[in-house]
Each structure stands twice: as C-alpha cells, then as structure tokens.
Amino acid sequence: MQGREAVKHSLTQSRAGWAEGTSEPEEFIVVDDRIVVFIHAHFRIPWSSDWQDVRLADVYTFRNGKAIQMRAFADRQNAPRWAGSQGTNR
C-alpha cells in the first residue's frame, strides 16, 4: 500500500485500540517536502477507565501536493531530525 491510502490506513490503525479519545495537532514545522506535526492525544483504551495523555509527532512527506508517506514518532524530538530540520527542543 502506498500514497494516500497508506497514510489513511496508518492513521486509522494508530487509533484502532482506543475506546474513545481525541488527537489534536499542536504545531506544524515545514521542512522542504515534509511537514512535522506535533500531536497531543488524549484517549482511553477499552479495558481501562484511565485516560492517557500522550504527545507525539508525525512526519508527512509530500510529492506533487499529495501525501506519499507518513512516519510516526513516539519521541517527538526524533521527528524534526528525521525530517531534516536543524532540531527542536519540543
């Protein structure tokens, strides 16, 4: 699977284990043909009453105006480096 469908599938799968929750973008950093998106996720998994707060990052690579790749990072600091940015302290 490639391109738009791969990105759509990845986003759907990343939230498939949630009973309920939200995922909100906090910041965008453009690095050439990539966009780093810092995300705050607030969710509850089905077998727990505890809510989780997680801050992570996704990097989208674009070609001809379309997303062709998405890579997720649990450690936000790794995303800008992978995208080619000079770094960030987030």
Q: Which pTM does this prediction carry?
A: 0.78
pLDDT for the residue 50: 94
CB count in 10 Å sphere of residue 80? 22
| The CATH fold of domain 3-83 | Nuclear Transport Factor 2; Chain: A, (3.10.450)
User: What residues contact 63, with CB distance under 8 A and at least 6 apart?
Assistant: 33
**pLDDT tens for each residue of 16-38:** 778 899 889 999 999 999 999 99
pLDDT for the residue 18: 81
The domain spans of the chain are 3-83
Structure tokens at 10: 């990845």
pLDDT for the residue 2: 59
pLDDT for the residue 77: 93
Q: Which stretches in the chain have pLDDT values below 50?
A: none
Do 38 and 57 meet the contact criterion of CB atoms below 8 Å apart?
A: yes
